[in-house]
Amino acid sequence: MRTRALIRLAVILSVAGLTTAALAASADDFKAALAKAEAANKQAGALKNQWTTTKDALKAAKKAADGGKFDEAVAHANQAEALAKASIAQAEAEKTAWTAAVVR
């Protein structure tokens, strides 16, 4: 149940990122968005809860940027950041939620 809520949060945040990316993005915009996404993904890695979808979104962002499609690249980077933040939220929630599953 919590996973669905986290995925919903990730989708909402990525849609919010897409709307802000509607303005013409530059290489600098992409670099800033990528840096934020990679930082969030690194934090998720430190919690040992990186999602594979985050890695895929980062890869798509870099591929779009290499093709000069910075609007698309920023959108993918924002999606990757949202997914990484959702994985961080999941890890934080699971720190205490596991106790409810323990048979007493």
Cβ pair 85, 13 in contact under 8 A: yes
Domains held by the chain: number: 1
State pLDDT tens for residues 19-44.
554 568 899 999 999 999 999 999 99
Indicate the pTM of the whole model. Answer: 0.74
Angle at CA 39, nearest 5°, toward 11 and 67?
Answer: 70
CB atoms within 10 A of CB 22: 10
State pLDDT tens for residues 54-96.
999 999 999 999 999 999 999 999 999 999 999 999 999 998 8
Q: What three-state secondary structure class fits 47?
A: coil
Q: How many helices (H) and strands (E) does the chain have?
A: 4, 0
- Helix pair 27-46, 70-101: axis angle to 10 deg: 20
Domain span at residue 97 reads 2-101
